[in-house]
């Protein structure tokens, strides 16, 4: 605002005309003069020709006047054209060109003055016609030369007084004196007009310069802000990424603790630790998703998705959390398949279920499908307290949390904003309904329904049956995480294949690869999976547990039978993925 006030003030206080300004005009004024003069002096040639023809004076003096005028006009037009095409000419050379222009302009003015006496010799009618021509030319000089007042004043006061003198020489009576006085007064009016135009263009130039400086400053500040935003986003991405490995290990260790015989107090402590780790995992996931979206690295890969399978898998994964909060999850069965990105859809629904568990503890979370005019919609609803009227306008704002929620519920306020941004990325819409005291419903809609791409798997298998004897080739460079994963897999009935035994993987019994992608960024998940499959001689299903969900960054976008889990992966989610892949190996 201060800059704007300064600019307005600068426009109001027009700079005055000084002797220094007359002797040494600023370079931009000379360039401005040349840019207009390149054409105005050619127009001046036609004006001179018309004045000569109209007077019908073919005397030698008139012919000499015409020749001199045309020659000087063409020289000035060439000078202006030359100066206009050399914007980078040195200031000293530009100043010399400006003085040359002023000298030639003064010469033209003197020729106009001499021409007045030549016209007076032919009679009053010729002088009157000549007066009109010179008056118009003098006004044209003001409009084309006001940027450099030296040239403008020389053009006026070398010609106008001579015209007045010619009128006095022709008629010394009071009428002639009156004509001469009016002509001089006209010159004074032209001077005032030129001065005002000069101040106006100087003020405009000063304003443009101030605006240019402010625009430059704004661009600089915007660049700094963008760099700071990108640095902040990268920091959040790296911080959440690097912290996932220890949290992932802690999740595995807590799962092992739960399988041991613990007294009631110990179980309560482990349960509280598990809830805290679940909240921490959700925070990391939200930060990573947020940073990936801000950096523009979120990639979409759509395919046919079985909504019933997605909803039931999420229900099983989140059932322990919701039940510990005193609630339950109910899924309405559906046979609908849609075209969407299964990874992003799962993330959106996971955020909604987590919100329902945290903000509506003890209530039943309902999940199902609705058919709308614009396509299929997936619904997640709870029976909690709902959202207050004052908070509704801002519930989709990033990092917004109401005062009550901030005190009683852990979180960052990114759950719903991420759902909306993911939905926009997929071309879906997101709608929310809430009634205080009755609950909240969130609907992800505008999904395109497609035909089922495979038949339902026949036969019923229990998880224990499916995992029993399943051979898992574990790739994990973190010692603590590897040991915890091995014990957990063995407790589930799996057989952990020894390192270096990839050639025998899946030969005598179903097998799969479990790869814990490291944090150093140098490990290539695709290369590791491909190498193991080449040794095994078959396409062994694989699960990749990674801090990033970018399939292309991991190099697994083109690999078949690969599932990607985000760190920290809850044991229930890992177990569900193992069961899913084990089931595919048996069908």
Give tens-digit pLDDT for 276-292: 666 666 666 666 666 66
154: confidence class by pLDDT, cuts 50, 70, 90:
very high
Summarize pLDDT for 326-377 with one digit per residue, the tens: 888 999 999 999 998 887 888 888 888 888 887 788 888 999 999 888 889 9
- Rounded to an integer, the average pLDDT of 306-335 is 85
Residue pair 317/523 in contact (Cβ under 8 Å)? The answer is no
Checking if the pLDDT of 587 tops 60, the result is: no
Which pLDDT value is given to residue 280? 64
pLDDT digits (tens, 9 = 90+) for 393-441: 667 766 666 655 545 555 555 667 888 888 888 889 988 888 888 888 9
pLDDT digits (tens, 9 = 90+) for 232-290: 666 665 655 566 667 777 777 777 777 777 777 777 777 777 766 666 666 666 666 66
Residue range 93-117, pLDDT digits in tens: 888 888 999 999 999 999 999 999 9
Walk me through the domains of the chain, giving residue ranges and CATH numbers. Answer: 2-216 (no CATH), 243-298+460-587 (3.40.50.2300), 303-450 (3.30.565.10)
Edge to edge, the sheet with strand 471-475 lists 495-496, 471-475, 511-516, 542-546, 562-566
184-198, 431-445, 457-471: least confident range: 457-471
Q: Model-level pTM greater than 0.75?
A: no
Contact criterion met (CB below 8 Å) for 415 and 354: yes
Three-state DSSP at 357 gives helix
Local confidence band at 520 (pLDDT 50, 70, 90 cut-offs): very low
* DSSP codes, 376-432: EEEEEE--S----TTTGGGTTSTT---HHHHHHS---S-HHHHHHHHHHHHT-EEEE
Average pLDDT over residues 144-165: 91
Determine the pLDDT at residue 414.
66
Distances (CA, A) of 512 to 283, 321, 330, 478: 30, 28, 32, 20
């Amino acid at each position: 605002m201060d800059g704007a006030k300064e600019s307005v003030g600068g426009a109001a206080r027009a700079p005055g005309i000084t002797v220094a300004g007359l002797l040494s005009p600023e370079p931009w004024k000379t360039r401005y003069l040349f840019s207009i003069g390149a054409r105005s002096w050619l127009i001046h040639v036609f004006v001179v020709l018309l004045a000569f023809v109209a007077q019908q004076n073919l005397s030698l003096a008139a012919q000499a006047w015409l020749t001199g005028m045309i020659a000087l006009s063409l020289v000035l037009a060439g000078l202006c054209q030359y100066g206009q095409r050399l914007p980078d000419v040195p200031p000293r050379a530009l100043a010399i060109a400006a003085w040359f222009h002023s000298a030639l302009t003064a010469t033209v003015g003197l020729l106009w003055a001499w021409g007045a006496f030549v016209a007076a010799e032919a009679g009053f009618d010729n002088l009157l016609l000549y007066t009109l021509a010179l008056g118009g030319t003098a006004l044209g000089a003001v409009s084309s030369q006001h940027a450099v007042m030296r040239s403008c004043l020389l053009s006026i006061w070398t010609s106008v007084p001579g015209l007045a003198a010619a009128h006095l020489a022709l008629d010394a009576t009071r009428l002639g004196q009156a004509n001469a006085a009016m002509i001089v007064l006209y010159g004074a009016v032209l001077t005032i007009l030129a001065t005002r135009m000069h101040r106006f263009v100087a003020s405009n130039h000063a304003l443009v310069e101030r605006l240019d400086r402010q625009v430059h400053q704004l661009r600089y500040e915007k660049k700094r802000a963008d760099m700071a935003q990108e640095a902040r986003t990268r920091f959040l991405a790296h911080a959440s990424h690097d912290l996932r490995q220890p949290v992932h290990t802690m999740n595995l260790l807590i799962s092992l603790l739960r399988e041991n015989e613990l007294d009631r107090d110990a179980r309560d402590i482990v349960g509280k630790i598990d809830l805290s780790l679940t909240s921490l995992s959700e925070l990391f996931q939200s930060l990573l998703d947020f940073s990936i979206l801000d950096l523009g690295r979120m990639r979409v890969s759509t395919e046919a998705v079985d909504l019933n399978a997605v909803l039931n898998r999420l229900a099983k994964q989140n059932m322990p959390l919701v039940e510990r909060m005193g609630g339950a999850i109910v899924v309405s069965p559906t046979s609908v398949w849609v075209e969407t990105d299964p990874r992003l859809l799962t993330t959106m629904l996971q955020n909604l279920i987590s919100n329902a568990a945290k903000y509506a503890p003890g209530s039943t979370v309902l999940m199902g499908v609705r058919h709308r005019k614009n396509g299929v919609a997936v619904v997640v609803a709870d029976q909690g307290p709902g959202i207050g009227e004052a908070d509704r306008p801002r519930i989709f704002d990033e990092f917004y949390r109401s005062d009550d929620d901030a005190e009683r519920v852990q979180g960052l306020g990114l759950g719903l904003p991420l759902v909306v941004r993911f939905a926009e990325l997929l071309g879906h819409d997101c709608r929310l309904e809430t009634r205080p005291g009755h609950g909240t419903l969130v609907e992800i809609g505008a999904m395109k329904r497609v035909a089922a791409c495979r038949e339902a798997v026949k036969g019923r298998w229990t998880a224990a049956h499916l995992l029993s004897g399943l051979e898992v080739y574990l790739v994990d460079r973190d010692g603590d995480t590897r040991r915890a994963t091995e014990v957990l897999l063995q407790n589930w009935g799996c057989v952990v294949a020894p390192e270096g035994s990839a050639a025998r993987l899946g030969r005598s019994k179903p097998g799969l690869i479990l790869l814990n992608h490291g944090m150093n960024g140098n490990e290539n998940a695709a290369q590791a999976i491909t190498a193991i499959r080449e040794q095994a001689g078959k396409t062994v299903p694989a699960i990749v547990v990674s801090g990033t969900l970018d399939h292309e960054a991991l190099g697994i976008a083109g690999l078949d039978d690969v599932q990607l889990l985000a760190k920290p992966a809850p044991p229930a989610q890992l177990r569900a993925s193992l069961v899913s892949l084990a089931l595919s190996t048996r069908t």
